[in-house]
Amino acid sequence: MEQGDVKVILLILIGIIVIIIWRFQRWSGGSARRHSTFPRQIDIPEDDVVELLEAEGFDVLAGKTKIPITMTINEREQLESRLFIDYFVQKEDDVYLVKVARDRKPLEMTGSAVRDMLLPYTLMYPEAQGILYVDIAANKIKKIIFHIEV
């Protein structure tokens, strides 16, 4: 073998290793998005909220979803509750959770009020891009994204 042959073989081996590493990173990083835990429903009732979301370019994946929660107090007492997510929507590759404004429980746009009302949803679905807060009376969608520093 000549000196030039060894250099060519080394370049080919380095290229193959780079491609394998790149493919593995792409596969492992993208698998969470492809195999997400977001629910999908076929029959989503058409209402004002769905029309507003679709007009803004979102595809509605699922309607009202109930998330049961069980809590144990002092290893004896068990409490149950639930949270509801109004819709799951997607725009391009980004999935958002949707909460619809309610007259009986309005969201005050302060840091603590937004945190108290919406942060639990972000913690349940950390792979979601954020939360859309839909105020159908004002015909507005507010995109809320939490940035948490630990």
Q: In the CATH scheme, what is the code of domain 48-144? A: 3.40.1350
Tokens 């913690």 sit on residue: 123
According to the model, what pLDDT value does residue 30 have?
54
Please compute the mean of the pLDDT values over residues 124-133 and round it to a whole number: 91
pLDDT for 47 equals 86
Task: State the pLDDT confidence band at 6, using cuts at 50, 70 and 90.
Answer: confident
Per-domain boundaries in the chain:
1-35, 48-144
pLDDT band at 23 (very low <50, low <70, confident <90, very high): confident
Give the Cα separation of 143 and 127 in Å (integer): 16
Say yes or no to pLDDT of 9 above 90: no
Please name the helix (run of DSSP H) or strand (run of DSSP E) that holds residue 69, with its range, or none. Answer: strand 65-73
pLDDT digit string (tens) for 31-83?
Answer: 444 445 776 767 777 889 999 999 999 999 888 889 899 999 998 899 999 99
Helix (H, G, I), strand (E, B) or coil at 8: helix
Which pLDDT score is estimated for 17?
A: 92
> What are the pLDDT digits (tens) for 91-119?
988 999 999 998 888 888 899 999 999 99
Whether residue 12 is predicted with pLDDT greater than 70 in this model: the reply is yes
Find, among 111, 112, 85, 113, the residue nearest to 100 by Cα.
85
Give me the pLDDT at residue 31, please: 47
pLDDT at 37: 77
Q: What is the mean pLDDT of residues 121-142?
A: 91
